[in-house]
Structure 1
């Protein structure tokens, strides 16, 4: 069993390139920690705060950030594969270019985030908050966006094929140039009150 680190504060630490495996952090604070080029595997963060943390070019596999707060942090070129981020909130973060494959990002708040050109593939994002987020040119394929908050989101030019768009109100988002499949076209037409003959 991995050791559980509880309630510790890490400030101005250099974890550049560190390989973290089978660790557990609970209620910890990471402030101005450099995780550039770091990697995590089977690491769990629960109820932690990340403030001004550099996640640049970091790689995360089967890692969990549950009910965490990520504030004013940089995720340039970060990758998350099979990770669980349920209930985590991102505030004033640099999130481009971010790549997410698989995993569960349900109940995550990315409200107002700049997500231009990011990639989410086969990710569970039930009840995610993307209100006011700029997702133009993003790839959101095979994503479960059921019950998501999408008000004022910019999805123009985004690839949305295979994603659940049942929560989408076409009148409340920007969709110009977005790519969808035939089944999604039916869902959007119905949301507009159109009858399909």
Structure 2
């Protein structure tokens, strides 16, 4: 059964455990969701503006096209989740644990994610413009089609990551750690002619 349009504004839902619950266009604005545990839940077009999700745990849950404006996500963990098309603006992330997740088409403009482990994530066509990804672990992540204008990658580990030519030109990759394939792609994207 799906809950549609329910208003959980300002609700105190700390420490609850939700399994296989489904929410559509529900409002969690300024809700206290600290320590919330979800497993196999779906949230479609839900609003988490200024919600506190600190220390929450999410496994195999989907947050599709949700809004997380000025939300608190510190010490939260997302495992095998979908965050497809969700928007994160001025959120508090660090420390944030996220693994085996899909952030395709997600918007993380100017997100502060320094020193976060983002290895193996699907970030295809995500908006990461101006994000602070310094010293992050992005090994084997898929950044194909991601918008990377002014994205900071200094000290980031990009070995095995997939980034297209546009991202390699617009992102600030100076000081990033890359493998040979990405180095060659970077050189080609900047107009160098590589000859054997």
Q: Same fold (TM over 0.5)?
A: yes
Indicate how the Cα distance of structure 1 residues 167 and 80 shifts in structure 2: closer, same or farther if over 3 A, else same. Answer: farther
Shift of 1:168: 4.7
List runs of 5+ in structure 2 lacking aligned partners: none
Shift of 1:186: 1.1
Q: Distance in 1 between matches of 2:31 and 2:54?
A: 11
Shift of 1:170: 4.2
Deviations 1:108-165 (A, max 9, x none): 0001111111221211111000001111111112111101100011111111111101
Shift of 1:93: 0.8
1:79 matched to which residue of 2?
A: 77
1:126 matched to which residue of 2?
A: 124
- What secondary structure does 1:30 align onto? coil
Q: Distance in 1 between matches of 2:14 and 2:177?
A: 38
Count residues with an aligned counterpart: 195
2:33 matched to which residue of 1?
A: 35
- Please report the TM-score for the alignment, with normalisation by the length of structure 2: 0.94
Conserved in 1, the CA contact under 8 Å of 2:105 and 2:127?
yes
Shift of 1:177: 2.0
Shift of 1:10: 0.5
The 5 Å alignment of 1:172-187 reads 172-187=170-185
Q: Distance in 1 between matches of 2:10 and 2:33?
A: 11
Shift of 1:62: 0.6
1:193 matched to which residue of 2?
A: 191
Conserved in 2, the CA contact under 8 Å of 1:117 and 1:135?
yes
Q: Distance in 2 between matches of 1:169 and 1:17?
A: 40
Shift of 1:65: 0.6
- Please report the TM-score for the alignment, with normalisation by the length of structure 1: 0.94
Deviations 1:19-62 (A, max 9, x none): 11100000000022122222111010001111111111211111
Conserved in 2, the CA contact under 8 Å of 1:146 and 1:167?
no
Shift of 1:196: 2.0
Q: Distance in 2 between matches of 1:29 and 1:95?
A: 21
TM superposition outliers: structure 1 runs of 4+ over 6 Å: none
Conserved in 2, the CA contact under 8 Å of 1:168 and 1:188?
no
Q: Distance in 2 between matches of 1:174 and 1:110?
A: 16
The 5 Å alignment of 1:60-71 reads 60-71=58-69
